Amino acid sequence: MNTQNLIDQITKLVLAEITKMKSAEKLIPVGISARHVHLTQQEVEILFGKGHQLTFLKPLSQPGQFAAQETVSLTGPRGTIDKVRILGPVRSGFQAELSLSDARTLGIKPPVRESGDLSGTPGLKVKGPAGELDAPQGAIIAERHAHMSEQEAAAFEIKDGDYIKVYVEGRSGGVMDRVKVRVKSSYALDLHIDTDNANAFALEQGQMLRFEKIEK
């Protein structure tokens, strides 16, 4: 089989899978995101010592992302939360993703924001085994959102920035409206919600939920 025939065969298989996804019920797995922080390499070294690198603990749902073994303490005006997991790899700025319950424990009022949208957000004191730092901003309640690869989005006829409506069945069921979809070749299908959302709907990690695109 020559190269072109192989490419044609692979293309047919991919198109067949996309067709099956289009005709099937639209389902997305739940990814429950507990409180966590993202740090720069400089911040990692302040908190854990010069030259320290984050230690891999387990992979996350998105390719290349991982939970690190290292944890920190977060302190706000009202209280402290210990053993907050760091997620890797390192980023270009500090970010703490909290639930509303966490924010109340700390005594801060972070806005509901997309990851990376940190302007005007509250700061926190961050403490590690080797040092501490005062982050001037970076605390948010992460806006619930969905990840899709380009192939998955094409199958569902969804584009980056579109919104979906997610349905939860059962006695604690309901609807999660206006869930923004992020599309990228490196992403994997996943619905990201925090622990408050998960508890309100009695959801479990990996549970499959039906969704539909919100037409503009």
| The CA-based dihedral angle spanning residues 196, 198, 204, 208, taken in that order and rounded to the nearest 10 degrees | -160
pLDDT (average), residues 63-72: 97
Residue 18: band (very low, low, confident or very high) from pLDDT cuts 50, 70, 90: low
Query: In the chain, where are the structural domains located?
Result: 26-31+144-213, 34-142
- What pLDDT is attached to residue 165? 97
DSSP 174: E
- What pLDDT is attached to residue 216? 72
Asked if the model's pLDDT at residue 23 lies above 50, the reply is: no
* CATH number for the domain whose boundaries are 26-31+144-213: 2.40.40.20
Q: Exposed, middle or buried: residue 170 (CB in 10 Å: 0-12, 13-18, 19+)? A: exposed
Q: What is the pLDDT of residues 26-54, one digit of tens each?
A: 999 999 999 999 999 999 999 999 999 99
Q: What is the pLDDT of residues 105-126, one digit of tens each?
A: 999 999 999 999 999 999 999 9
Q: Which CA distances in Å does 128 have to 74, 116, 143? A: 9, 23, 27
Separate counts of helices (H) and strands (E) for the chain: 5, 15
Q: What is the pLDDT of residues 162-187, one digit of tens each?
A: 999 999 999 899 999 999 999 999 99
Asked if the model's pLDDT at residue 102 lies above 70, the reply is: yes
Kindly give the residue spans of alpha helices, DSSP state H, lying in the chain: 3-23, 41-48, 100-106, 150-155, 195-200
pTM for the whole structure: 0.84
User: Of the candidates 16, 123, 29, which has an alpha carbon nearest to the alpha carbon of residue 74?
Assistant: 123
Asked if the model's pLDDT at residue 10 lies above 80, the reply is: no
